[in-house]
């Protein structure tokens, strides 16, 4: 993980406050997915090959909630390799998968609280 510089931090804060969907970065998630998940999963429309027993990300998006996906990726069950993803990678991947849709009845989660950061002015 590379440390946040001020520009990144600014971008992060802007994302957190401007968007209802978390600080996670779907673009980064896409990069990770193409690199690490596409060997088995269909991660994007147009991909030519994937393993038959690994569900396509479009299908996963509409049957798993954000929380399901976070829990699964933190601790995948045996048929899928544990890729030792960091929390940030998981958040980015979940954001990417969820660009394909929501599970029935699901609403996007509220953005997570910004963690205490010395660079950030405290309220009050």
Question: Which residues of the chain form contacts with ligand HEC (CB under 6 A)?
Answer: 33, 36-37, 39-41, 51, 53-55, 60, 63-64, 69, 72-73, 77, 79-81, 83, 93
Whichever of 23 and 66 has its CB closer to ligand HEC, that residue is 66
Query: 5-20 burial by CB neighbour count: b if 16+ within 10 A, else e?
Result: eeeeeeeeeeeeeeee
Least gap, CB of 5 to ligand HEC (angstroms): 26
Write down the least CB distance from residue 98 to ligand HEC, Å. 11
Of 9 and 80, the one with the shorter C-beta distance to ligand HEC is 80
Q: What is the separation, in whole angstroms, between the first and last Cα of the chain?
A: 32
């Amino acid at each position: 993980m590379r440390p946040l510089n001020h520009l990144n931090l600014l971008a992060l804060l802007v994302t957190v406050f401007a968007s209802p969907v978390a600080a996670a970065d779907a673009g980064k998630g896409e990069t990770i997915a193409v690199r690490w998940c596409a060997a088995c999963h269909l991660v994007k429309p147009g991909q030519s090959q994937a393993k038959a027993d690994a569900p396509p990300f479009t299908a996963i998006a509409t049957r798993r909630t954000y929380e399901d996906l976070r829990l699964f990726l933190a601790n995948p069950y045996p048929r899928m390799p544990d890729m030792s993803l960091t929390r940030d990678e998981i958040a980015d991947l979940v954001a990417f998968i969820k660009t394909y849709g929501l599970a029935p009845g699901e609403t996007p989660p509220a953005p997570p609280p910004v963690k205490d950061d010395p660079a950030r002015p405290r309220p009050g």
